[in-house]
Structures are given as C-alpha cells and as structure tokens.
Amino acid sequence: MNLKSRGEVLLPHRSFLSQRWMIFLCIGSFCAGMLFTNRMWTIPEPKGLARTTAMEAEKLNVVSEGCNSRILQEKEVKRETRSIYKEVFKTQNAMQTLDKTISNLEMELAAAKAAQESIRNGAPLSEDIKAVESTPRRRYLMVIGINTAFSSRKRRDSVRQTWMPQGEKRKKLEEEKGIIIRFVIGHSATSGGILDRAIEAEDRKHGDFLRLVNNVTLCHVFLISWLQFLKEKLADCVKNCGLILQDHVEGYLELSAKTKTYFATAVNLWDADFYIKVDDDVHVNIASYSLFTPFSATLGETLVRHRSKPRVYIGCMKSGPVLSQKGVRYHEPEYWKFGESGNKYFRHATGQLYAISKDLATYISMNRHVLHKYANEDVSLGSWFIGLDVDHIDDRRLCCGTPPDCEWKAQAGNVCVASFDWTCSGICRSAERIKEVHRRCGEGEKALWNASF
C-alpha cells in the first residue's frame, strides 16, 4: 500500500542551503578563483624578446598583405620619395652651412685687414696679431698705371725717354717720393705666345710692367678647393693674400674690364693714397718747380691738396653724348639705358688721365664681380661711383692741349698736369711728338727731385 492510499500527504524535499546563500557561495568561489589564478599563474614576460619596431611592423604588414604587387609598388614609391626629401633637405643644410662659413671667413679676413691697418697706425696689438704681421706695408703717395697695348712699344719708349724716370731713378722715386709708375698690360688671346714673350723680354730689360695675368694666390686655392682648412690657414692667408692678380685678355673692347682689373690689382699690391690711370700717349708733369711758378700745382701737389678727403675722384669732368649709331667710334650698345636719343652721359672724368683715392679703389676691388662695364671705360668708372657719396674734383689742368696751349699756360704760371690733343684723344703721333711736348711744356728733371709732397 502506498502512502497516498494510506492518506498521508507528501511535502516537497527542503534544501539544506537557501537560494540566497547559494548565490553568495558562487560569487565567493569565483572571486577566490580569480585571486588564486592571478597570484599563482602569472606568465612571465620572456626575456630578450624585442618589441616589434615600426619598420618590422611595416614588413609584417606587407607579408600579411600577400603578393599584391600594386600595394608593394606604392609603398616602395613612398619610401623612395621620403629618401629623396631627406637628401634634398641635407643638401640645403649643407649649402646654408657653406654660405655661412664663407661669410664668417670674409668677416675674419676683413678683421685681419683691419688689424693690418692698426699696425700701420701704431695701435697696440696682441701677440697673435703681431705674429701674423711681421713687416708692415710701405705707404705710398700715388700709383700711376700707364695703360698700354702690345703694339705700343714705340709709345712706351717715348714715355721712358721723357717724363717717366728709368732704372735707379725710378727706384729712388718710389723710395724717396712714394710714387710708383708702371705700364699696365694683360696677356694675349693665346697666352704665352709671341706677344707675351715680347712683353716679358721688355719687362726683363726695364722692370716697369704691371702684368694683369692669371696668378691664383694661396687664398684662392683655399676658397675653391680646401675651404674646410681655411680657418686653420687664415694667418698664412692674411700674409699671402695681399697680391690678388686677375686674368685680363687685351683688346680694345675690353678697356672697361682692364680698368677695373688694374685698380683691383694695384690696391692689393701697393698701399697708396691715390691710384691714377693714364694713357701711354699723354704727357704728364708729376711735380713742378720753376722760378716763375714755385707754388704751381701739378699731379703730386694736386693730389696732396685732396689727401685728407674721403672718396675723391679727380679728373677733367665731362658729359658727352650717348652715341647710339652702330659703326661709329665710342658707340654705346646700351644707349637705351640713358634715356631718349640725343641724351648725354652723367658727369665723369675723361679717360686720358684720372685719379681716385684709396677707398674708391678698394670699393672697386671688393665689388669688381658686380660692377657693370659699359663700352667706354671712362663711362664705366663714372657709373661705379654714381650712387656713392663721392667728391668729384674737376681740375682742367689735367686736360691741357699740346703746344702752344700748355706752353702759354706754363708761362702764365699755370703749369699743366697732363697735355694731349682732343682730336686724337691723346698726343697725335705721340711716339714722334711727345719729346717736343716735353721740351716745351715739361717740368724739367730737377723739379721732380726738388718737390716735396
């Protein structure tokens, strides 16, 4: 008999733990398991395992992308482009560094030249500067450059026989009076040819040439080839860079270039108050002394009167017409720069003889690479000073005529500095006539040695 039949009611079986406690037990077990796992089963990081770099990640990415050639090509192009940008950036930095280095070296060289000037002026110097400069340069009154050509041998000989002292007298003139005189000439188009050899032979005989030839000095070599060593050799450069001769090819159309090269070379060779350019068919009285004109002003005395002035430009000032017609003498190809047809040039000294002070010659030397050359050399010289604060001295004694003009002026007490014929832009047939001009208008040999500047 079952219980039901027996009339007994069955009650459901009651759990020993309530439902609430069961939940708490589960949560506690879970937390205990997590705590146990973190403490006992911490996986140590393997030692020596390098982290993936950006480049390796990029490589892994390429591998994961499979053999997709288009993606690979695009990434390669980007990589090459970045490399090119880096190289360009490096090149620009290198160029900027080089420019800065050159600028610094120029400043140091200018400072060294200033130190040389201090030595000449007697300023106290440090032992380093004294070691660089052992023998200060001699200061001269003037440097006279006689512009000549290969075909002008007879003209040169006529000048040597008249107003230009020769041999020991020329050396005495340099030592006692501070006057340097040289014939100025470059080289022929075929350097080392028969024309150059003839000038070299003439120079060996007389020793009175200033050759504008290619002579690269130590400083040039450093600047061009060994810039990185220039600072270490700066002391040697200061000693040896005083002589900066330039390359000049003779030619009538190159007179402006020759004038610029002459002044740039002369100011580096000789430290003088004035630098003069004169043609080889002009008669010059360097100094004058006579019973009638004991205080007359010729070249030396004229320059002395202006010695204390800065930036002096002395000559017979003129303003001739700008010739635009081709084929005529003194044609100016750049006539359009001077305005309308029929205009005149700005005021400038006539080309037979003019003088400039040392600071102007230095200006030409420092800026020779950017100074523009016109067809006529006297115009070019005037144009280089047109924008500067320059004192233009117009002295008509620098452009007297040949006898009887210069003779009459000398008798009247106004001895001429230079004499020539305007019609010939020099003494007509000067090789034959300059002796007569010298006899009638010259100062005499005693005048030069009795003069004191």
145 DSSP 8-state letter:
E
Q: Which long-range contacts (CB under 8 A, 24 or more apart) does 165-170 make?
A: 165/448, 166/206, 166/208, 170/208
Integer Cα distance of 315 and 394 in angstroms: 6
Would you state the pLDDT for residue 9? 45
Q: Best-predicted range by mean pLDDT among 19-28, 268-277, 321-330, 331-340? A: 268-277
Would you state the pLDDT for residue 85? Answer: 66
Q: Does the pLDDT value for residue 84 go beyond 90?
A: no
CA 290 to chain centre: 46
| Residue ranges of domains in the chain | 139-217+242-450
The Cα 400–Cα 409 span in angstroms is 9
Residues 107-152 have pLDDT tens digits of: 556 555 655 554 554 544 434 434 434 456 789 999 999 999 999 9
Q: What pLDDT sits at residue 28?
A: 75
In this predicted structure, the answer to whether residue 418 has a pLDDT above a threshold of 80 is yes
Overall average pLDDT of the 250-268 stretch: 84
Q: How far is CA 346 from CA 108, 254, 319, 321, in A?
A: 37, 21, 6, 10
pLDDT per residue as tens digits for the range 53-64: 555 555 555 445
- Top pLDDT among 357 and 227 is at 357
pLDDT above 90 as % of the chain: 41
Domain 139-217+242-450 fold? Spore Coat Polysaccharide Biosynthesis Protein SpsA; Chain A (3.90.550)
pLDDT of residue 291: 39
pLDDT digits (tens, 9 = 90+) for 345-371: 999 999 999 999 999 999 999 999 899
pLDDT at 78 over 90: no
- Model pLDDT, residue 299: 87
Whether residue 298 has pLDDT greater than 90: no
Tell me: pLDDT of 185 over 90: yes
Q: Which helix (H) or strand (E) holds 146?
A: strand 139-147
- State the pLDDT at residue 426: 96
Residue 434 pLDDT greater than 80, yes or no: yes
| Mean pLDDT, the chain, whole residue set | 76
* CB distance 349 to 395 below 8 Å: no
